[in-house]
Amino acid sequence: MVRSRVKRAVAASGVLGIAALALSGCSDDAKRGFLPASDTTDHTQQITDLWVHSWVVLLGVGLVVWGLVVWCVVVYRRRKGDTGVPSQTRYNLPIEVLYTAVPFVLIIGFFIATVHVQSATEAKATPAYDGADVQVQVVGKQWSWDINYLTTAGDPDVHEDAGIQADYVSGPTFDESKLPTLYLPVNKEVKIKLDARDVAHSFWVPQFLYKKDLLPGVHNNYWTFTPEKEGTFPVKCAELCGEYHSMMLMNVKVVSDSEYQTHIAELRERGNTGALGHELDRRQDLKYNSDDAEHTHSAAAVTEN
């Protein structure tokens, strides 16, 4: 009996040692719960902390529950020579109260933590807030995005070319250069006005750990944040919006302030002044009119300053 206990103790120590080594060798991505780097925006650290800490709590609860299950299986297993049925009990009031109270407390705690993080993220996402360094309007449509750069007063300034849906060349491969690209300056507060031209869409930047729904007729929908890392970040529509929903792609490109100002000046020199209006044909994106995917789209209606 003593020898078997020693063997079990040694085996348990070995398992714990292997687990400790595995955890110590985790990459930075694994330590963040495989989430993007925490410095992409001024909100991603809070969101990452909420995600990781929630999982730590849940794993702790899981270890207790799984440990109790294993303990019951081992300690109360049927042994040689056992006969009859073990004594039966209908309930244990303290344990049942505990099993009811703990999930309730956890749910309340998760709710409060989530509301705190979401409130901090949405604190400046209002029409009245005018302290942002950059203002932009992003319009979702079937099945692409239009991008209008606004003045600090919220008036139309310049715009990108009318967005067209992803042009798939072969299988899942598409022409990245033809995707709409929203330029943003790094370390500058950005206020994005989000509109939907036709049906419900959702503006999702996975590496920013946040998404905002776009609803037709709702024109007070904003997202305010500060990008803190330069790079190109893919954007997807996270709301099923029709036949080519999966092709509704764009990029957010975070650049230095000087590069951002240069891009705005280039748009002005190209004549992309004013704003792309809501009058565009909802099917103005890529239309496949032949076997070789001939691409046509209608001219953009532009609202001048």
For residues 228 and 278, membership in a common domain is answered with yes
Statement to judge: residues 144 and 276 lie in one domain: yes
**Domain total of the chain:** 2
> Which residues are 234's β-sheet partners?
251
Last residue of a domain, one of 123, 146, 167: 123
Confidence of residue 299 (pLDDT cuts 50, 70, 90): very low
Q: Provide the 8-state DSSP code for 117.
A: H
> Is residue 201 located within the same domain as residue 220?
yes
Locate the DSSP E strands across 215-263. 222-225, 231-237, 249-255
Query: Does 59 lie in the same domain as 154?
Result: no
Tokens of 259: 């590069």
Q: Are 120 and 49 in contact (CB under 8 A)?
A: no
Residue 65 above 50 pLDDT? yes
Beta-bridge mates of residue 139:
146, 195
| In a shared domain, residues 183 and 62 | no
Same domain for 237 and 189, yes or no, is yes
Residues in CB range of 52: below 8 A, 6 or more apart = 32, 33, 35
Closest CA to 227 of 204, 202, 250, 207: 207
Distance from C-alpha of 55 to C-alpha of 58, rounded to nearest angstrom: 5
> Do 164 and 220 share a domain, yes or no?
yes
144 with 238, same domain? Answer: yes
Residue 3 resides in a domain: no
24 part of a folded domain? no
The radius of gyration of the chain's CA atoms, rounded to the nearest angstrom, is: 27
Domain that holds residue 197: 134-303
Residue 290: inside a domain: yes
- Over residues 34-49, the pLDDT tens digits come to 666 668 999 999 999 9
Does residue 19 form part of some domain? no
Query: Are 215 and 150 part of one and the same domain?
Result: yes
* Residue 29 falls inside a structural domain: no
Residue 216 — φ and ψ, nearest 5°?
-60, 135
Which CATH number goes with the domain that contains 283?
2.60.40.420
- Using DSSP's 3-state secondary structure scheme, residue 296 falls into coil
Domain for residue 30, yes or no?
A: no
100 and 142 fall within a common domain: no
Q: How far apart, in whole angstroms, are the C-alpha atoms of residue 61 and residue 79?
A: 30
**Interstrand relation of 181-185 and 249-255 (parallel, antiparallel or unpaired):** parallel
Residue 8: inside a domain: no
CA dist 163 and 249 (Å) reads 9
* Per-residue pLDDT at 30 exceeds 80: no
pLDDT tens-place string over residues 100-138? 999 999 999 999 999 999 999 998 888 888 889 999 999
* 77 domain residue, yes or no: no
Residues 168, 294: one domain?
Answer: yes
Q: Provide the pLDDT confidence category of residue 304 given band limits of 50, 70 and 90.
A: very low
Q: What's the whole-model pTM score?
A: 0.76
User: Is pLDDT of 15 > 70?
Assistant: no
Residues 99 and 159 in one domain: no
pLDDT in tens, 167-211: 766 666 777 888 899 999 999 999 999 999 889 999 999 999 999
Tell me which amino acid residue 172 is. P
pLDDT in tens, 236-267: 999 998 888 988 999 999 999 999 999 999 99
Task: Kindly indicate the confidence band of residue 20, based on its pLDDT and cuts at 50, 70 and 90.
Answer: low
pLDDT for the residue numbered 298: 37
End-to-end CA, the chain: 88
